[in-house]
Amino acid sequence: MAGGGAAPPPKQEELQPHPVKDQLPSVSYCITSPPPWPEAIILGFQHYIVMLGTSVIIPSALVPQMGGGNFTHDCVTATQKFLRTMRGTQGALIIASTIQIILGFSGLWRNVVRLLSPLSAVPLIALTGFGLYELGFPGVGKCVEIGLPEIILMLIFSQYLPHAIHVAKPVFDRFSVLFTIAVVWLYAYILTVSGAYKNARPKTQVHCRVDRSGLISGASWISVPYPFQWGAPTFDAGESFAMMMAAFVALVESTGAFIAVSRYASATMIPPSVLGRGIGWQGIGTLLGAFFGTANGTGVSVENAGLLALTHVGSRRVVQISAGFMIFFSILGKFGAIFASIPLPIFAALYCIFFAYVGACGLSFLQFCNLNSFRTKFILGFSLFMGLSVPQYFNEYTSVAADNHLHGLLTVLRQFNDMINVPFSSKPFVAALVAFFLDNTIHRHDGAVRRDRGYHWWDKFRSFKTDSRSEEFYSLPFNLNKFFPSV
């Protein structure tokens, strides 16, 4: 070679892991930064549409079992059964709401959450999303010709088109829900009016037709709900205790969803006092739902949490606008019923994406943990496995066995069986319980273990005033924070 010297070896690129982020980057509008009003209104309407899925599924499943429905004839017996069941449900919800209100506003739940580490939060948040898989593709499969096109179009609009067609502002991914629902809903309407389901099985018609349940014809033009419209609530001790346990499970699941929402809104970890405050207001929502006869309590909408991730918009103003749409269309019954007539497999297709986002948010907290630690591997694997396995065990006995497995062993009371079955049929509850217990009992005081479980990453968020970003994201207006526990 010319020059007589050997060429230096190529410099090897130094490999570095991705840095840990206590706020999620690449979010266009965080919790305190609202988008322009026109965009915010459209995004709020999109949140309203997504929320409709659960709002339709729950009463569609509950009301027929309660004796209600869209009768074409006068069915006195069914009406009396519906009113009796509704009043009993209202009474149980009133009692159950006190669990969330007391635990939230007293600061008791704040003290529990203070012991939560990133490691024990992973199973809770992950199964809050992944644990709802039964509402995903199984719902799509009930009308494949409608649900499957919705999934495919959502993937194209949200993941491929933004990279294939470059526009000044995000359009296809940010409003993909509205675009795809409009197309598939029109397609479902054409199938319905063309007689495609004229001779189909009743179950197929229920899931595929846009006029499946008489929602539009049965809805009134204007209906203003008022407290106790079904009559005075009734109270039963057994029903109340079972509902209280359900409210506690909802409290745990909502805690995981709260953390996912804060992550996708590009906020910092929620201070324990703010989480407790949120649970308390959730109890107020359950109490109001009991007064107005909604037949179910209040919890965080997991699908709307996933929508935050899809749109990269975590603005509080967007969600407030969405709440305005909910109130408006609940009063104008006909208009609300039109949107509620969207076939449920379309919503199930959306759940496949939104629930996956929430579950992935749980896994993202592993970045704070030492994944080379056998302690971490055991707690993570065991809690996730038990979170899936234990509910399967209880669900099998609940749905298959004529007598519950606790009969003759502990008690003959059905309500006590319900109190046991409800929490242990919840995947995130079981996973969180196992992870929380193990993480706070196995070598907890070891300094190395404290770092392995990622506890030190959340130290500055344990108190409301330790990090200035907490006050920016979570302060209440008019200095109302002074009325809530903050330490």
**Token representation of residue 271:** 């201070």
**Token representation of residue 138:** 């199984």
Q: Report CA 45 to chain centroid distance, whole Å.
A: 18
Q: Residue 485's pLDDT is what?
A: 63
Q: Residue 118's pLDDT is what?
A: 96
pLDDT at 11 over 70: no
Compute the chain's Rg from CA coordinates: 25
| 305-310-312 Cα angle (round to 5) | 90
Reported confidence tier of residue 370, pLDDT bands at 50, 70, 90: very high
Q: Residue 408's pLDDT is what?
A: 44
State mean pLDDT over 181-210.
Answer: 91
29 DSSP β-pair partners: 313
State mean pLDDT over 400-408.
Answer: 49
Reported confidence tier of residue 409, pLDDT bands at 50, 70, 90: very low
Residue with tokens 């050997």: 6
Reported confidence tier of residue 98, pLDDT bands at 50, 70, 90: very high
How far is the C-alpha of 296 from the C-alpha of 340, rounded, in Å? 18
Reported confidence tier of residue 74, pLDDT bands at 50, 70, 90: low
For residue range 109-151, what is the model confidence (pLDDT) as tens digits? 999 999 999 999 999 999 999 999 999 999 999 999 999 999 9
Q: Residue 205's pLDDT is what?
A: 87
Nearest Cα neighbor of 343 from 139, 173, 152, 174 is: 139
How far is the C-alpha of 144 from the C-alpha of 204, rounded, in Å? 10
Reported confidence tier of residue 103, pLDDT bands at 50, 70, 90: very high
Q: Residue 73's pLDDT is what?
A: 44
User: What pTM does this model have?
Assistant: 0.91
Nearest Cα neighbor of 420 from 389, 438, 398, 435 is: 398
Q: Residue 346's pLDDT is what?
A: 96
pLDDT at 83 over 50: yes
For residue range 208-232, what is the model confidence (pLDDT) as tens digits? 998 865 667 777 888 888 899 888 9
Per the CB < 8 A criterion, the answer to whether 81 and 219 are in contact is no
For residue range 433-487, what is the model confidence (pLDDT) as tens digits? 999 999 999 987 788 898 999 999 999 898 878 888 888 888 887 777 777 766 5
Reported confidence tier of residue 419, pLDDT bands at 50, 70, 90: confident
Per the prediction, the chain carries an average pLDDT of 88
Q: Residue 399's pLDDT is what?
A: 60
Q: Residue 336's pLDDT is what?
A: 80
Q: Residue 315's pLDDT is what?
A: 95
Nearest Cα neighbor of 295 from 22, 120, 83, 99 is: 83
Nearest Cα neighbor of 143 from 342, 340, 345 is: 345
> Which of 84-93, 176-185, 355-364, 410-419 shows the lowest mean pLDDT across its residues?
410-419
Reported confidence tier of residue 402, pLDDT bands at 50, 70, 90: very low
For residue range 229-278, what is the model confidence (pLDDT) as tens digits? 888 999 988 889 889 999 999 999 999 999 999 999 999 999 999 999 99
C-beta atoms surrounding 5 within 10 Å: 7
Q: φ and ψ at 313, to 5 degrees?
A: -125, 115
How far is the C-alpha of 476 from the C-alpha of 221, rounded, in Å? 37
Q: Which residue has the higher pLDDT, 484 or 425?
A: 425
End-to-end CA distance of the chain: give it in Å, rounded.
72
> Which of 59-68, 102-111, 158-167, 179-188 shows the lowest mean pLDDT across its residues?
59-68
For residues 133-168, one letter each, b for 16 or more C-beta atoms within 10 angstroms of the residue's C-beta and e for the rest, the string is bebbbebbebbeebbbbbbebbbebbeebbeeeeee
How far is the C-alpha of 96 from the C-alpha of 112, rounded, in Å? 20
pLDDT at 398 over 90: no
pLDDT at 12 over 80: no
In 3-state terms, what secondary structure has residue 313?
A: strand
For residue range 380-396, what is the model confidence (pLDDT) as tens digits? 999 999 999 999 998 88
Nearest Cα neighbor of 348 from 172, 156, 201, 184 is: 184
Q: Report CA 482 to chain centroid distance, whole Å.
A: 29
For residues 103-129, one letter each, b for 16 or more C-beta atoms within 10 angstroms of the residue's C-beta and e for the rest, the string is bbbebebbebbbebbbbbbbbbbbbbb
Nearest Cα neighbor of 214 from 64, 49, 51, 66 is: 64
472-478 long-range contacts (CB < 8 A, ≥24 apart) are 472/32, 473/31, 473/32, 473/262, 473/267, 473/268, 474/267, 474/270, 474/271, 474/274
State mean pLDDT over 184-211.
Answer: 90
